[in-house]
Chains A and B, each alone.
Chain A
Amino acid sequence: MMKFKMKFKKLNWLDIVLGALLVIMICLGGAIYFKSMGVESTVSNKTTVRFVVECNELHQEAAQQFQSAVGQPVIYGASKSDTGVVTDVQITPYRKITKNTQNGTYIYTNYADRYTALVTIEAEVSQTETEFRQDKEYVRIGAPMPVRGKGYASNGYIVELEEVAE
């Protein structure tokens, strides 16, 4: 403790000037760096988006469970902080692209007893030039998007996205 106090006492005006200079340089460098990196327009305003999450390889009972979600609130995203309302659910047979190695083509093949749920969600979000986001979840086509509601939960991908006209 004594040693520390002695060292502290030994600090003179030059140390303080150099220390302050270093702090200013770091702040200035950081400000310039982040300003040059950032996307220019980040003005945000509220809008409503409608997006479709495709949940694949569901068993029949699980797929039917999704249909009971229409009109109900839904939590979307891994952070479980963003919510919307399910406006529609379409159930279709699950199909996957496979290779036909006999004739050298790609074909869609239906999986027996497996279904796809296309869950349409409407949510109020903020928008900027680069994103739609309510709280933590970014809504973009191609992005993975878990969904969960009363009695169902699944991982899926966003396959459609549109802004809802006011």
Chain B
Amino acid sequence: MKPIEKILKKIHLVDVAIILLVLAAIIGVAVRFGGGGDSRSAAADAKFNATILIHDVRESNVKALEKSMNLPFVTDEKTSVAYGTLVNMEVTPANGIVEKTDGTVVNATIPEKYDVLLTFSFRGKVNENGYYNQDVMEIAAGSTHTIRSKWCSVYGIVQRVWDAE
């Protein structure tokens, strides 16, 4: 009996299942990050930036964000999953919309509150489907994230995402 025949005789259903499982995992990873064979395949460890708008926060929160500059943020506090690093922030008085009794709508300043536009630097993966941070969380304009630094926890909306030069 040839050695290959010997091995083939020893193969069981459970062996086939394990091989299929491993193949499925490899194909899954390739489809998720490989960009489906497109020329713009996933760039592992790519760098990109995004701005996130934090609306209507107190001055103490603004100061906490200033302290968090150049520090990493996390999304899941139990696993300390890396989100991105805060690299810039612009603070403006908070604005909200008021519908007046005469039917008009005006933009009004909310006293003692601030809007903060945060710029984050990310490491992760980029493909034709989008931008993903190290936690494989998609960073896309319009999506909302609760993000936490050592000093504060804030909720914001992604405004813009772009490749880092």
Contacts and interface: CB of A to CB of B under 8 A. Distances in A.
A80 to B, nearest CB: 18
Interface string A35-59: 0111110100000000000000000
Contact of A142 (B57, B72, B106): B57
A142 B153 contact: yes
A132 B153 CA distance: 12
A10 B101 CA distance: 82
Contact of A42 (B57, B80, B101): B80
Interface residues of A, number: 44
Interface stretch (B32-40, B58-66, B157-165): B58-66
Contacts of A29: 25
Contact of A140 (B7, B18, B82, B149): B149
* Highest count of chain B CB atoms <10 Å: which of A19, A36, A42: A36
Contact of A14 (B10, B100, B109): B10
Contacts of B96: 99, 106
B98 A105 contact: yes
Given A14-B10, A18-B19, A37 B81 contact: yes
Interface in A19-37: 19, 21-22, 25, 29, 34, 36-37
B80 A106 contact: no
B interface, by DSSP: helix, strand, loop or mixed? mixed
Given A37-B134, A38-B80, A106-B96, A10 B60 contact: no
A38 B109 contact: no
B3 to A, nearest CB: 12
A14 B15 contact: yes
A100 interface: yes
A10 B110 contact: no
Sorted from nearest, which 9 A-B pairs have the closest CB atoms? A104-B106, A141-B152, A141-B64, A142-B153, A140-B153, A143-B153, A104-B98, A106-B110, A18-B18
Interface of A: 10-15, 18-19, 21-22, 25, 29, 34, 36-40, 42, 97, 99-108, 127-132, 138, 140-143, 159-161
Interface of B: 7, 10-12, 14-15, 18-19, 21-22, 25, 57-58, 60-61, 64, 71-74, 77, 79-82, 96, 98-101, 104, 106, 108-113, 134-135, 148-154
